[in-house]
Amino acid sequence: NLEAKTAQHLIKDYIDSNAVLQTDKSTTFSDLSNCIDVHVREISGTKEGNFNLKWVHIAISNLKKHLQTYHMISERMMQNYLDEFCYKLNRRYFGQKLFDRLIIASIYPYWYDCG
């Protein structure tokens, strides 16, 4: 859910209090002063605001679209779907070099150990 209490709870549990947190001006992130030291709030996606979070919103939108292709995703398998999306997102520009990169990644530990 997008309640402020939930966001505060997650930020306290998973983000270091000394970190710098950059969010949009959603009401979900309105009061995080007791959770984190530095909180930067920006207008995102409007003509007068910065577009620092533009690609974050695009990635989230693409993730939602990706998850809609699967029906009845169980909570137990959700991490696998998220991992697949991250894998594809991080390798989207490899193109024809993807196979070469896979070969290098597979032999690199052997090559490194053999000296």
Residue 46 lies in a domain: no
Do 98 and 66 fall into the same domain?
A: yes
| Residue 48 tokens, joined | 């007068």
| Residue 106 tokens, joined | 């597979």
Q: Using one digit for the tens of pLDDT, what is the confidence trace for 75-115? A: 888 898 888 888 888 888 877 888 888 888 888 776 666 65
Do 85 and 55 fall into the same domain?
A: yes
Please tell me the distance from the alpha carbon of residue 19 to that of residue 21, in angstroms, as a whole number: 6
Q: Which residues contact 17 (CB under 8 A, 6 or more apart)?
A: 35, 36, 37
The boundaries of the domain holding residue 70 are: 51-107
What pLDDT is stored for residue 49 in this prediction? Answer: 54
What pLDDT is stored for residue 102 in this prediction? Answer: 81
Do 26 and 56 fall into the same domain?
A: no
- What total number of domains does the chain contain? 2
Do 26 and 66 fall into the same domain?
A: no
Please tell me the distance from the alpha carbon of residue 71 to that of residue 68, in angstroms, as a whole number: 7
Residue 79 lies in a domain: yes
The closest of 111, 83, 87 to 98, measured between CA atoms, is: 87
Do 68 and 98 fall into the same domain?
A: yes
What pLDDT is stored for residue 115 in this prediction? Answer: 53
Residue 19 lies in a domain: yes
Q: Using one digit for the tens of pLDDT, what is the confidence trace for 17-75? A: 888 888 878 888 888 888 888 888 877 665 655 556 677 888 889 988 888 888 788 88
